[in-house]
Amino acid sequence: MMTFDVCTPTERARAALARIAECGRPEVWIHVRPESDVLADAAAVERRLVAGEALPLAGTVFAVKDNIDVAGLPTTAGCPEFAYVPQVSSPAVDRLVDAGAVVVGKTNLDQFATGLVGTRSPYGAVRAAHHPDRVSGGSSSGSGAAVGLGLVDFALGTDTAGSGRVPAAFNGVVGIKPTLGLVPTRGAVPACADFDCITVLAPTVDLAGLAMSIMIGPDAVDPRSRVWPSDVVLAAPQRPRVGVPIEAQLAVLSDSYRRSFAATVARAEEAGLDIVRVDIAPLLDAARLLYDGALVAERFAAVGDFVTSNPDASLDPTVAAIVRRSAEPAAHEFVRDAGTLVAAEHYAAGLFADLDALLLPTTTEHPLIDDVLADPVEINRRLGTFTNFCNLLDLASVAVPMAGEPGESFGVMTVTPAFGDQVALDIAARVVGSGTAVVAPESGVLLAVFGAHLRGQPLHHQLEALGARFERDVATTDDHLMVRLDSEPPKPGLVRAPGGAGRSLPGELYRLSSAGLGSFLAALPEPMALTAMTLADDTRAVGFTCTPAAAAAGVDITEFGGWRAFIAGVPA
């Protein structure tokens, strides 16, 4: 578990407010909470710590995109006349506060979460954290800049077409876009309700993953809320197979972004990823449906009545035009485009049958604010080239910053099928060269292995195929024997020693899904079996054993002190 012990929650809150005041970036914020309220919350966290509560986020402060409800604070969605004051917070916010994090304020955004640029707001255009002549990216513009500037430890955004990932790229931070429904969207103003999700932006993969893991969980009141499937994959393989677009599909990138992406792909190969070129044309075609097809009608369903009924409101002209036009598609056109998505989903399923993930440039270029103001539609359209299709096709994604050329920021993202969130995070961490975090459920089943399923041994691939996650090295209690069985490939049998004889033998502990364990057991050949066992550190797990007859016929190799030592021929 991460610890935040550099300062107390109150000291961290004071430092954050001081940093916000001295930074001189008012366009990042729509509402900063009064100092007294922030410090009162920090003091409450300290009291909970003294009372013995385990608070994994104690000592952190965070910001919330102003289309997500925080009880008692106005929610504007980037439009002053739309504002309302919710009585309860979004479940995502509540869960973070329950874990010890303190809200410092609400951040600016492209109005009604419509845009990828961060300039479509009456509260001002948000400048990129490190390159203030360039856009911060939208629609989670303020959240991305707040993290990039070090004003908060992490921030919440939303993502329908890339709104949580493009700001990550432009502000040099990590952005996690989970599988739709894993984080409840209750309490978030909808953009396209069927394709919206709440995201997190943070400076590191591990902090982003920690915050995301806390937000994930079903919500009985949210009809779009989802739970992890029984066969969820809990880890990426040691050498993941990762697809990158064919060269022709990278032509949309600026010259500098094309060079940066090529350098990132080379780095990914050095990090142990197996890179293959793939055709993603059907996915790119699907991406255009979000704004150019009838699916845009979802935006009218979200805020169309407000926009058409309030012509004198502080409406961004580009956003208002998009929302008004979204009333035009006919029902049969919506059905047609839904059918197109089904075909694209089928194509994506075929791609991922041979891949663990896609590695894509998060966006196409890092535009200047002046250029976006001069061309507010076409540049925005390009920026969503690689992000727009993800939610339409129910995919998970993690965006990470990578080295860009001078004067601009650059990033890439990993993309996996729904509920492949852990794989996306693990591979993203590998690309960026950092530690990872656990976002997939920690329920699962603990499986202890001692022979041919150990890392580097011939059957380890079976665990990888089931998405098992390595937990730690372990050992049996000191009353076990190991025999070499007559099998192919060679494997040991582990049995309890009669009369208390035997010794402690080393192994590895893995966590895998309950369905994965069932598949593993169904394929287990004789004379192997799985049994409940208690390890030397008192951990309860499922472990291997073999039939008494097989043990009696095997060769006792206990003296070697473990399977690897036996393979090496070195007795302990």
489: Cβ contacts below 8 Å, ≥ 6 apart: 452, 458, 459
In DSSP notation, 415-448 reads EEETT-HHHHHHHHHHHHT------S-S-SEEEE
Q: Are 141 and 126 spatial neighbours (Cβ–Cβ below 8 Å)?
A: yes
1: which DSSP letter?
-
Q: Cα–Cα distance between 415 and 294 in angstroms, integer?
A: 25
Q: Is 163 annotated as catalytic?
A: yes
Among the listed residues 90, 139, 143, 260, the single catalytic one is: 139
Beta strands in 434-556 (DSSP E): 445-449, 469-475, 480-484, 492-496, 506-512, 528-534, 540-546, 555-556
Is the bond preceding 167 in cis, omega lying within 30 degrees of 0?
no
192: which DSSP letter?
S
Q: Beta-carbon neighbour count of residue 508 at 10 Å?
A: 20
Helices (H), 99-253: 141-148, 166-171, 205-215
Q: Are 446 and 541 spatial neighbours (Cβ–Cβ below 8 Å)?
A: yes
472: Cβ contacts below 8 Å, ≥ 6 apart: 508, 509
Among the listed residues 65, 106, 177, 491, the single catalytic one is: 65
Q: Edge-to-edge strand order for the sheet containing 29-32?
A: 29-32, 102-107, 61-65, 154-159, 197-202, 174-177, 395-402, 410-417, 357-361, 241-245, 274-278
188: which DSSP letter?
B
Looking up tokens 């990090």 gives 271
Among the listed residues 163, 225, 254, 397, the single catalytic one is: 163
Burial 543-559 (b: 16+ CB within 10 A, else e): bbbbeeebbeebeebbe
Give the length of the chain. Answer: 572
| β-strand pairing of 154-159 with 61-65 | parallel
Helices (H), 271-409: 281-287, 289-292, 297-309, 317-325, 331-352, 369-374, 378-383, 389-392
User: Which residues participate in catalysis according to the annotation?
Assistant: 65, 139, 163
